[in-house]
Structure 1
């Protein structure tokens, strides 16, 4: 799946199963953009902590991966 498809699937997976999405009042592109923005905000917040040691920075990278996975972006080959 492409990144777009993964994010869109994550946004719509709990929507009613129909050919159309009757309760969807927003365009799928807007859903994906919103999800990306939220993930980028969380990643920025993680990286902005300037008092981290190298070991703590490595842990923050794990948090970034977790944040991406929570957004429906599955990391391959890690």
Structure 2
């Protein structure tokens, strides 16, 4: 079983890898999520101040990346 920090680290890495694979900048992803600055996504990717994607973010990202949301969330088993 993974702990909370590991869980959010894995989600962050999955989203980051998928973002880079699609050549989407941090700014573009921030705009998709309704933020005006890339610093929002940068904080999440650097795991600063306990910043994380929430479920709403993951729904938006999954839709934008044409993925099933389950592909963004690690198994806890």
- Structure 2 length as normaliser, TM-score? 0.34
Which one scores higher on RCO, CA 8 angstroms, separation ≥ 6? 1
TM-score using structure 1 length: 0.34
